[in-house]
Amino acid sequence: MKFNKKLENIKTYEAGKPIELVVREFGIESTEIVKLASNENPYGCSTKVQDAVGAIVKKMSLYPDDSMTRLKDAVKKHFDIEVPNIIIGSGSDQVIEFIMHAKADSNSKILMNSVTFAMYEIYAKHIGAQVIRTASQEHDLDEFYELYKAQKPEIIFLCTPNNPTGDAISTTDLVAFISKIDSETLVVVDGAYMEYAAFKDKNKSITPKELIEKFDNVIYLGTFSKAYGLGGMRVGYGISNPKIIKELYKLRPPFNITTLSLEAASVAIEDQEFVNNCIALNFEEMNRYKEFVNEKNIDIIESYTNFVTLCLNDAQNSTQISDSLLRKGMIVRDLSGYGMNAIRVTVGTKEQNTRFFELTSELL
């Protein structure tokens, strides 16, 4: 059987290994497994969300509200924007897929960082577009601009804070860069971890309203999967000018967000006290990782997210260490597939992080 040739050079996205699979493969009790691979909120979601979702389970036989009025109104209020500025996706990666199909084709070029979220490239290859990458590991906007002038890409992806490295672009530098880009080039600012960056450093904080008021060629992406603790609900969003949003809606399938997910996200965005408490705990625990790497003589990339990237030295191998940790019930992310001898570790609870330090110390 023949398939679309565009699929031949596409690598399947590898999500973090689920706990259930580790139980089956290694015979470890699920209670003994710590998952620090997918950057989920280790504190779960707001109890208000749990109560709200539990109260509407009887509605599961009905299709969800496809207008998503309640959630859009909540996003509108939170960001001080208008409903026509918003599109909701099944995770922000679905919005990325909409963007790719709406703006690019097989003759297009897509510019992105050398190390960044894998789905940018995967969706670009779906349509046969050419992927252009920078050489720098962290976002170098001067390099981006030189490639932009030389290659004339249809879309530019800027992931800030960046996944999987954790670095972030300053607000001033981002605005200055976009100011030099022509209005026909779409700039995608992926802020999946922006709640963390804004908490840690106001100079790295990106406000969607300010972006879309200054630029007609920008779309900002956000998600409920990280700080809001709703990874299992799959809800993301895009914020842009109404013209761009209208085009993206032509690609949105009906009922792409479930009833439970809509309810969860609508309540979650209103409980900012829970979110801020989780983020504060995250950076408290991140300080322990900084102390750990200093003791072990390995490097850490300054992170503005809920994860840390640990860059190993020449005597250590990220794949071997990740596999050894896995066999002990500790799930982390090996970054060798990104060309890095490094592991990405979600900053967990105090107990989870202590367990990581203990197991990793034995291996190092």
pLDDT tens column, 315-333: 789 999 999 999 999 999 9
pTM of the entire structure?
0.93
pLDDT of residue 313: 86
Tell me the mean pLDDT in the region 293-315.
Answer: 93
Tell me the mean pLDDT in the region 155-182.
Answer: 97
pLDDT of residue 54: 86
pLDDT of residue 14: 65
Tell me the mean pLDDT in the region 170-179.
Answer: 98
Model confidence at 15: pLDDT above 90 = no
| Cis amide leading into 161 (omega within 30) | yes
Model confidence at 215: pLDDT above 70 = yes
pLDDT of residue 364: 82
Model confidence at 16: pLDDT above 70 = no
Tell me the mean pLDDT in the region 223-241.
Answer: 97
pLDDT tens column, 106-149: 999 999 999 999 999 999 999 999 999 999 999 999 999 999 99
pLDDT of residue 24: 67
pLDDT band at 194, cuts 50/70/90?
Answer: very high
Q: Which domains does the chain have, with CATH numbers?
A: 5-45+273-363 (3.90.1150.10), 47-271 (3.40.640.10)
